[in-house]
């Protein structure tokens, strides 16, 4: 593979050892860094997204999960019956 086939140069990516040293020197904790960048989508330049907030599960969602659990248990029992029978 030729050098011009690479998408990024070393200067674009940076040095891994230097990045590790910079991470050790930062006084900012990981949670502070995560909260500072939460909701941003810098890759495509889109506007920041609002943070996700938990909601109450609806009856339909709860029934769908229960149906999935029952179907999974049914399949497991059938496989065990066929394997042991």
Confidence band (pLDDT; 50, 70, 90) for 34? Answer: low
More confident residue, 6 or 59: 59
Q: What is the pTM of this model?
A: 0.39
pLDDT digit string (tens) for 35-48? 555 555 556 677 88
- DSSP 8-state assignment for residue 52: P
- Please give the pLDDT value at position 13: 76
- H/E segment holding residue 66: helix 59-84
Residue 1 pairs in a beta bridge with none
Residue percentage of the chain with pLDDT more than 90: 32
């Amino acid at each position: 593979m030729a050098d011009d086939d690479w998408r990024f140069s070393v200067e674009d990516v940076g040095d891994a050892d230097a990045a590790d040293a910079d991470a050790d020197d930062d006084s900012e904790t990981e949670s502070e860094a995560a909260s500072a960048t939460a909701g941003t989508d810098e890759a495509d330049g889109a506007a920041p997204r609002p943070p996700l907030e938990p909601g109450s599960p609806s009856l339909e969602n709860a029934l769908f999960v229960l149906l999935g659990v029952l179907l999974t248990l049914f399949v497991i029992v059938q496989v065990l019956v066929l394997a042991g029978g």
